[in-house]
Chain A
Amino acid sequence: MSGGMGNSTTQCAPVREALSDYVEGSLPSPRQQLIERHIKECSDCAHEERQMRMLMHLLHHQVPRREPALDIWAEMAPKIAAIDQEEKLAFGGRLKLKAGRFLGSVAAGAIVFTQVLAANTEARMSKYVKNDPFTANEGSRVA
């Protein structure tokens, strides 16, 4: 409902839709003037416009950028040097380097996999392992 115009609900909806473009001044001139006239007559839309203007002013000028507190370049420079080094290699050299990295990853994965498999198998098989009769009572005898 409009504060200024009793029958302006239908006029308010398109005005509200175009409000941020209006505040930015990016509407064609006739539309801009039409909204300006409506705002002068409608207190609700005028309030909306005031708030939108305030919000955009706040976001554009009052909220500072987040700046990095750490020196990102210092951490990135060695990585860039590594990329340069890699790019200097001939095609064969790059292929070798990539194959080496790939095989290294596969080997590391295989080691982890076999370790996990061994631990899992030991846990599953432990119930089938018979106690050694010679050492079974060793603890109690000592005690």
Chain B
Amino acid sequence: MPWTGRGGVTLSPQAAAVGTGVRVIDPDAVLVRQHLGGDPKAFEALFRKYQTPIFNLVTRMVRGEDAYDLTQDVFLKAYRSLKTFRGDSKFSTWLFTIARHTCLNHLRHKNVITEDSLEESQEEHPGNEPIDANMDVARLCETRELQRIVDKVLVTLPAEARLLLILRDFEQLSYEEICQVTELSLVNVKSKIHRARQAFKKRFQPYLAILEGGNVR
């Protein structure tokens, strides 16, 4: 097993692969081993650690009440197949891959997946939707308001662009991790993320103008 070092010390796949001699213990892999060894609390610890990132991804992908059921589905699928987790990738990457499949299958099943390209969806949402006349920097910077507006813009993007933006800009996964989750090449991932950001920026333009005026940074 690639993630088990000498004397049962568990290594992160990166440390093992790079072979720098520096042993970095991957706490998730330790928990997986403990779970497989029969510790009933180990999986709950993994769940507590990842429930927010997974819920965040799921709720921004599907929106609505289904997010709770789908989050459960992701963890139940992970629970069932934890025995097959080989540790070739990080546990978090493996979990995000399950979440990606679950969300896309759900959207396909509900017939709400948007297979159209960014260009086609750009025609439908050119970014000039009217914004609230009372909107100003102070109101826009309120957490809930910002969250609402960002999600409103995000939902106008095709599913794949939305997923890539969430993984990179919200969850801040590395490009390599995103390649593993999406099964795309690095060049493809970088180019798609760039185009997704451009599309998001275009639709978010009225709010950016407000923020620019008030200098959000």
18 further A-B contacts with Cβ under 8 Å, apart from A51-B201, A65-B170, are: A19-B194, A20-B197, A21-B190, A21-B194, A54-B211, A58-B146, A58-B150, A58-B211, A59-B170, A62-B141, A64-B143, A65-B52, A65-B53, A67-B52, A68-B52, A80-B43, A80-B76, A83-B76
CA–CA, A138 to B76, complex, Å? 64
What are the residues of chain A within 8 A of B80 when measuring CB–CB?
83
Q: What is the distance, in angstroms, from A3's C-beta to the closest C-beta of chain B? A: 16
A66 to B62 CA separation, bound complex (whole angstroms): 13
Docked complex: A15-58 residues within 8 A CB-CB of B: 17-21, 26, 50-52, 54-58
Partner of A63, one of B55, B170, B211: B170
CB distance from B59 to the nearest CB of A (A): 5
Tell me, yes or no, whether B193 is within 8 Å of chain A by CB: yes
Please tell me if A73 contacts chain B, counting CB pairs below 8 Å: yes
Is B51 on the interface with A (CB-CB < 8 A)? Answer: yes
Nearest to B151 among chain A residues (CB) is: A66
A residues contacting the other copy or chain, number (CB 8 A) = 31
- A79 to B71, Cβ gap below 8 A? no
User: Is B146 in contact with A62, judged by CB distance below 8 angstroms?
Assistant: yes
9 A-B residue pairings within 8 Å (CB atoms): A21-B190, A54-B217, A65-B52, A65-B170, A66-B60, A66-B147, A72-B75, A76-B75, A83-B79
The interface residues of chain A lying within 8 Å CB-to-CB of B200 are 55
Cβ-based interface call for B39 (8 A): no
Residue of A nearest to B80 (CB): A83
A50-B212, A56-B169 known; A63 vs B68 contact (CB < 8 Å): no
Task: Report how far A68 CA is from B74 CA in the complex, Å.
Answer: 14
Q: How far is the CB of A96 from chain B (nearest CB, A)?
A: 19
Inter-subunit contact B150/A76 (CB<8 Å): no
